[in-house]
Amino acid sequence: MEHCENCKCKEKHDYALLAPVLEEYAKVPGSLITILQHAQEIYGYLPTDVLWHIAEETGIKPAKVLGVATFYTQFRFKPVGKYLILLCCGTACHVNGAKKIEETICEELGIKDGDTTDDGLFSLKVVACLGCCSLSPVMMINDETYGSLTPDKVKKILKELREKSEA
Amino acid sequence: MKIVVGQGSCGIAAGAGKIYDYFKENTSFAEISITGCIGMCYLEPIVDVIHDGIKRTYCKVSADILPEFSKALEEKDFENELLKKYELKDEDKAFLEKQTRIALRNCGIINPESIDDYIQAGGYKALTKVLEEMTPEQVIEVIKTSGLAGRGGAGFPTWFKWNAARQSQSEQKYLICNADEGDPGAFMDRAVIESDPHNLIEGMLIGAYAIGASEAVVYVRAEYPLAIVRLTNAIKQAEERGFLGNNIAGSGFSCKMRIKAGAGAFVCGEETALIESLEGQRGMPRLKPPFPAQKGYWQQPSNINNVETFANVAWILSNGGEAFAAMGTEDSKGTKVFALTGKIKRGGLVEIPMGKTLRDVIFDIGGGIRNNKEFKAVQMGGPSGGCIPTELLDTVIDYKKLSATGAIMGSGGMVVMDETTCMVDMARFFLDFTAKESCGKCIHCRIGTKRMLEILNRIVNGEGRDGDIELLEELCMTIKDGALCGLGQTAPNPVLTTIKYFRNEYEAHIYDKKCPAGHCASLITYQIDADKCRGCTLCARQCPVGAISGKVKEPHVIDTEKCIKCGKCRESCKFGAIHV
Ligand SMILES: Cc1cc2nc3c(=O)[nH]c(=O)nc-3n(C[C@H](O)[C@H](O)[C@H](O)COP(=O)(O)O)c2cc1C
Ligand code: FES
């Protein structure tokens, strides 16, 4: 299988981590999304081999598992950086200049929406509305929300996080 | 003394978490508690101090003043200069006083993590009364009298849906709460769940009793982690107190409740797509009929309502359907919550009786436009709605009257725009959203929105062609007629309303290659007003491509050939000398 040389299908993650989740949900109808959410929480993203493993354990066809996973924007198929930036580009944020904020982040980090920096520190994902519209423009980094952003404020936040992780 | 720190998502984003931590760690003279979102988001972080039965509210409290702030409180020196400076102003008090709060009645007042607070505020009384004294039919009758209509967007009479689900014969029925809140710019559902989760649970239980459901599910948007935490906690508390589970309050009625976290797909707010998603599928809408009331979740009779709809139910059962119906207009009863955002001075949550005008909400309560700019339009109903212009500001808030403008009541997002907002760009923004969120099941929506987006993109990029407006209109009609679900059927609304009210802006883009709002980068040139420029050199230092030249203390000039129109110079100029 020559074409498999660079492909990650042979990779094997530690399925024991997922075992309790599968134990609880594998046979409960309608639980595929819940299982995928737990898997993403455990592995940080949805690796191909984990998706195969879920398909085997639940008896759901692999194509269906992938079909569901790719439908929802929450699911990722690549590892993310230490800091996941969720930048809001919802209506309120758009009206208050979210585009500028996006440009600033992209410029500062040298990445586009959906990418991760080479040092694995930052990932950027554009989302629609974090529900803090009154403080727009807004972004969320891991579990922390930052509001009333300006390009300068964003630069400062990114710098602080970078320094924090270097320390 | 009691110190209460507002801990809704917006408060926390503004720094309320650190303020709470500070008081918690450093205060021995007062009890420290939390509350949810009062809706004055523009003033967060907010701290309430209750002493001797008097409540004082302090706004925009920042971490650096805390030591001094807290010292003044300890000394009960309420006339202290610092405290006075941060105390809620009269004009801001009016923001709340002009509202009528039913769905939000406890938000920002009680502790959302305490069921006792809710019970003390009269909570679970309506449920107990319903279970002890009323038949399901009587409950439905009260809801019918109230005139309550769905707050999720479509405004369908709630009693009718409940009755249909009640009439469907089946062993197993489901009650589902739609907390997907997909309209980017609306956040009232999040506020209700974060600030008063028991009110939602109580409303849902009354609904479950009315239709005969023994299982209830709340489908919550993935981007609302705090709402999920608070609701999980509330469900647990309600179970412990016997308000949820088997034989509720000794009535023989049983109902369990669980949360399902969404996974990020706008179309899942559509009820049949939501059901697909609950069943673990791709969230693609089903053909109706059969309606969920006949064949819904797992093909069983199901009833789906929005969070705000349920948030009104307990109040209606306590106060009577007539009291609710006494507010509003002929067609639209009760109150509606709006999320006021955008270029507004006082942004936040506003609950008012139907029948008020848009002007009342935006100018009287919201204080009008920030930075002395001119109002241009208000966007209502998100990607399914439209932009309402200045001439129609006196439109009455009522389902039919708003639909007549081409916009919709929607879930209550009100994004206010000023003269610097380009209406063509807004239309492009929404089409970009719907094109991305189209689930792909039907061709009109999948390909139609994409074609429309392409046309709008070329217009804002200065490549608009003669006939583009007409082509857009034709596509709009085709998509409206041909799309399978509400997403596609309403996707053209933002385009149609902007063409209807702001056709001149489209024409300026296409024929004059100009963006009247000065927004679209391809259609503007930056210039420095030599009379205003003081030659401070700040802009020249900010310019990433070195397009600005000039000597210190002399007017600068922009080389339009080099300029990449990033706008950094205009932002940095302290004298307003740079214009487009
Ligand atoms: C594309 C689309 C998105 C929707 N999103 C939501 C939503 O986020 N929240 C909501 O309550 N209703 C939403 N709805 C409306 C629901 O389909 C449904 O009408 C509503 O949840 C019924 O509750 P109600 O009668 O209490 O309003 C959406 C409809 C469509 C077509
Ligand atoms: S639009 Fe950005 S938080 Fe709502």
In which residue ranges of chain A is pLDDT below 70? Answer: 1-9
Q: For residue A10, is it within any domain?
A: no
Residue A48 domain flag? yes
Tokens 């991305």 map to which residue? B436
Q: Which residues of B touch A31 (CB under 8 A)?
A: 280
**Predicted pLDDT of residue A6:** 58
Query: In sequence order, what E strands does B84-164 have?
Result: none
Same domain, A90 and A148: yes
Q: Is the peptide bond before B45 cis (omega within 30 degrees of 0)?
A: yes
Query: Does the beta carbon of B277 sit less than 6 angstroms from any atom of ligand 1?
Result: no
Q: Is A8 part of any domain?
A: no
Instruction: Report CA-CA distances (Å) from B118 to B106, B111, B233, B497.
Output: 8, 8, 13, 43
Q: How far A159 CA lies from chain B's nearest CA (Å)?
A: 19
Residues A91 and A160 in one domain: yes
Return the pLDDT at B346. 96
Give the pLDDT score at A5: 59
Beta bridge partners of B350: B338
Same domain as A87, residue A52: no
Mind telling me how many Å the CA of B541 is from chain A's nearest CA?
Answer: 15
First to last CA, chain B: 55
- Does residue B314 contact residue B126 with C-beta atoms inside 8 Å? yes
What is the pLDDT at residue A2? 45
**How far does residue A38's CA lie from ligand 1's centre (Å)?**
27
Residue A46 covered by a domain = yes
Say yes or no: A159 and A89 in one domain.
Answer: yes
Domain membership of residue A142 (yes or no) is yes
Structural contact between residues B208 and B172, judged by C-beta atoms closer than 8 angstroms: no
d(C-alpha B258, C-alpha B236), whole Å: 10
Shortest distance, CA A5 to any CA of chain B (angstroms): 31
Domain co-membership, A47 together with A121:
no
Q: Which domain holds residue A113?
A: 83-166
Rounded to two decimals, the ipTM of the complex is 0.93
Provide the 8-state DSSP code for B149. B
B429 lines ligand 2 (CB under 6 A): no
Question: What is the rounded distance in angstroms from the CA atom of residue B197 to the CA atom of residue B190?
Answer: 10
In a structure prediction context, what are the per-residue pLDDT tens digits for chain B, which is 580 residues long? 999 999 999 999 999 999 999 999 999 999 999 999 999 999 999 999 999 999 999 999 999 999 999 999 999 999 999 999 999 999 999 999 999 999 999 999 999 999 999 999 999 999 999 999 999 999 999 999 999 999 998 899 999 999 999 999 999 999 999 999 999 999 999 999 999 999 999 999 999 999 999 999 999 998 899 999 999 999 999 999 999 999 999 999 999 999 999 999 999 999 999 999 999 999 999 999 999 999 999 999 999 999 999 999 999 999 999 999 999 999 999 999 999 999 999 999 999 999 999 999 999 999 999 988 999 999 999 999 999 999 999 999 999 999 999 999 999 999 999 999 999 999 999 999 999 999 999 999 999 999 999 999 999 999 999 999 999 999 999 999 999 999 999 999 999 999 999 999 999 999 999 999 999 999 999 999 999 999 999 999 989 899 999 999 999 999 999 998 888 888 888 998 998 8
Residues in A closer than 8 angstroms to B13, CB to CB, are 132, 135, 138, 145-147
Question: Over the range B339-348, which residues count as b (16 or more CB within 10 Å of their CB) and which as e?
Answer: bbbbbbbbbb
Q: Domain with A111 in it: what CATH number?
A: 3.40.30.10
Same domain, A107 and A156: yes
Within this chain, do residues A160 and A89 fall inside the same structural domain, yes or no? yes
Which amino acid does the sequence have at B254? S
Of B379, B505, B391, the residue nearest B430 (C-alpha):
B379
Q: Among candidates B368, B373, B381, B375, which has minimal Cα distance to B339?
A: B381
**For residues B26 and B93, what is the distance between their CA atoms, to the nearest angstrom?**
29
Residue owning tokens 């596609």: B488
Give the pLDDT confidence score for residue B580 in this predicted structure: 85
Number of domains comprising chain A: 2
Same structural domain for residues A100 and A62?
no
Q: Which two tokens stand for residue B446?
A: 């999948």
Shared-domain flag, residues A122 and A90: yes
Q: Are B183 and B383 in contact (CB under 8 A)?
A: yes
Measure Cα distances from A106 to A78, A99, A114, A149, B220 in Å. 19, 11, 11, 15, 30
**Domains assigned to chain B:** 2-88 (3.40.30.10), 115-325 (3.40.50.11540), 335-418 (3.10.20.600), 423-512 (1.20.1440.230), 525-579 (3.30.70.20)
Residues of chain A contacting residue B275, judged by C-beta atoms under 8 Å apart: none
* Statement to judge: residues A87 and A162 lie in one domain: yes
Whether A5 maps to a domain, the answer reads no
Q: Which of A103, A94, A101 is nearest to B420 (CA)?
A: A94
Distance between CA atoms of residues B339 and B337, nearest Å: 7
On whether residue A87 sits in a domain, the answer given is yes
Tell me which amino acid residue B282 is.
R
Q: Mutate which of A134, A136, A155 to disrupt the B interface (most B C-beta within 10 Å)?
A: A134
In this structure, are A43 and A64 located in the same domain?
A: yes
Same-domain status, A61 and A98: no
User: Looking at the domain assignment, is residue A76 inside a domain?
Assistant: no
* β-strand partners of B179: B220
